[in-house]
Structure 1
Amino acid sequence: EALVETGIFTYILPRFTLKTRVRVDLVSEGEAEVQLGPEGQPVFEGLGQVWHLAPRVTPSENAARFAEWLGGEVGGRTVTAYAPEGVALFRLPEIAEQAEAAPVYEGDARLGHEVSRAQCARCHGVDRATRGAGIGSTPSFAVLRGMPDWELRFAGFYTLNPHPAFTIIDEVTEPFPEERPSPIVPIRLSLEELDAMLAYVAAMEAADLGAPLTHQ
């Protein structure tokens, strides 16, 4: 169906499994313990409708755990961070947005710093020590952190050019085609490392960009 075709489940299910060690499978409507549709708890909005989560049967412990996660703050942030080609496809329902607390990033910021230096410093300045390093035309992490959509940019960086050509996110991205291998030594991250990098960037001081920027 249309929701599956957006790729949202390929994005969120590995993240849920990483946090909980519980695997979730997409099955037919008749086999599902919980389903997304027009009735139940509103969890996110997109594709012209509000998607609600509802049990079809008495859910198992694992199914109930997934439902609680998807309907909670972390699940909501995960859904809204999905932004293929830099465009967010989903948002929280209006009623949920009014009660939304300030984001809390659960990743290990120290690990995120290490990963950023190891994987990203070849092109970006990722801290004071690497300021001015890398490619001159490439914005530093501090500059990117100062942009209003910084979270979307970092959470989905592997979908934004030129990153898809040389980036692997375990359990998320497809292997490089044999006829189009990575042109450089690939960047390879686990979901845990991606979450850690997001936590590191969230905690850093943003560069002062002055007046609002117009950017793509």
Structure 2
Amino acid sequence: MALRMLILAFAAALLPLAGRAEEAPVRLYAPEALVETGIFTYILPRFTLKTRIPVDLVGAGDAEVQLGPEGQPVFEGLGQVWHVEAQGTPRENAARFAAWLGGEVGGRTVTAYAPEGVALFRLPEIAEQAEAAPVYEGDARLGHEVSRAQCARCHGVDRATRGAGIGSTPSFAVLRGMPDWELRFAGFYTLNPHPAFTIIDEVTEPFPEERPSPIVPIRLSLEELDAMLAYVAAMEAADLGAPLTHQ
């Protein structure tokens, strides 16, 4: 689920889909004390302006996203830490809103709310704790198969395909050795040149008829993308040596 939220967060930040504007609004619940601060009249129009996704405040029983004591901590104020939680299996737009609120842009938007010049909310102080190794729930064997089928034309994805593909394109092992490898793989379809020939089901739009893919397209489901992440997580990273230093 964490990886699914990460993928949808990329879509929210980098691939706002204009055609989704007329879908039903995201249904958000927040306690009355929080609503009365006016925070939602400030942040919701900004989210909608950025993404064209409307958000309505509703009762707890009708909500698909709610703010309260459970879920991901997002901001602190009124004497408590507020958490965002998506209910059940949220629609894509609801997941995008939850990811936005829990992300850097949403956090800055909340903390910028300062009626009469006084900020009411701040980012939560999260106690330092030993980082647990992330758990990748995808099927690594499927991820290997998908990588060989979809990515080996450009990348070396394993020992057998090392040196294959395009010489200037880094192998999966090299990419795995980078500190931000997870973000690179989770959002690869947003990084050039991939948007021109990649479709992720339920995330990206089909290619316009007047601008088809210039090559045989890559098409992946979210399950297959999770599987690729699990495969890459388990592989041995290439030794990239010491970081470059500048004199």
Q: TM-score, normalised by structure 2?
A: 0.55
Q: 1:160 to 1:215 in 2, by over 3 A?
A: farther
Indicate the larger mover: 13-22 or 202-211.
13-22
* Distance in 2 between residues matched to 1:54 and 1:34, nearest whole Å: 6
How far residue 86 of structure 1 moved from its aligned partner, in angstroms, is 34
Runs of at least 5 residues in structure 1 that lack an aligned partner in the other structure = none
Please state whether the residue corresponding to 1:10 is helix, strand or coil: helix
Instruction: Kindly provide the CA deviation profile for residues 7-43 of structure 1, in whole angstroms up to 9, marking residues without a partner as x.
Output: 9999999999999999999979994254248998615
Instruction: Kindly provide the CA deviation profile for residues 46-92 of structure 1, in whole angstroms up to 9, marking residues without a partner as x.
Output: 99999622799999999999999999999999999999999999999
Identity of aligned residues (%): 94
Please state whether the residue corresponding to 1:176 is helix, strand or coil: coil
What are the residue-to-residue correspondences of 1:43-192 with 2, within 5 Å?
A: 43=74, 52-53=83-84, 95=126, 98=129, 100-192=131-223
* Distance in 2 between residues matched to 1:85 and 1:181, nearest whole Å: 52
Q: 1:54 to 1:185 in 2, by over 3 A?
A: closer
Q: 1:12 to 1:170 in 2, by over 3 A?
A: farther
Q: 1:215 to 1:60 in 2, by over 3 A?
A: same
Q: 1:86 to 1:38 in 2, by over 3 A?
A: same
- Do 1:18 and 1:192's aligned partners in 2 also have CA atoms closer than 8 Å? no
* Distance in 2 between residues matched to 1:111 and 1:85, nearest whole Å: 55
Instruction: Kindly provide the CA deviation profile for residues 66-119 of structure 1, in whole angstroms up to 9, marking residues without a partner as x.
Output: 999999999999999999999999999651763642101000000000000000
How far residue 179 of structure 1 moved from its aligned partner, in angstroms, is 1.6
Please state whether the residue corresponding to 1:198 is helix, strand or coil: helix
Instruction: Kindly provide the CA deviation profile for residues 161-213 of structure 1, in whole angstroms up to 9, marking residues without a partner as x.
Output: 00000001010111112221100000000111000000000000000000125
Runs of at least 5 residues in structure 2 that lack an aligned partner in the other structure = 1-31
Please state whether the residue corresponding to 1:192 is helix, strand or coil: helix
Please state whether the residue corresponding to 1:77 is helix, strand or coil: helix
Please state whether the residue corresponding to 1:53 is helix, strand or coil: strand
Q: 1:172 to 1:61 in 2, by over 3 A?
A: closer
Please state whether the residue corresponding to 2:145 is helix, strand or coil: helix
Please state whether the residue corresponding to 2:232 is helix, strand or coil: helix
- Do 1:46 and 1:90's aligned partners in 2 also have CA atoms closer than 8 Å? yes
* Distance in 2 between residues matched to 1:165 and 1:175, nearest whole Å: 11
- Do 1:81 and 1:156's aligned partners in 2 also have CA atoms closer than 8 Å? no
Query: What is the aligned residue count?
Result: 216
- Do 1:45 and 1:91's aligned partners in 2 also have CA atoms closer than 8 Å? yes
Q: 1:212 to 1:26 in 2, by over 3 A?
A: farther
Q: 1:113 to 1:81 in 2, by over 3 A?
A: farther
- Do 1:82 and 1:156's aligned partners in 2 also have CA atoms closer than 8 Å? no
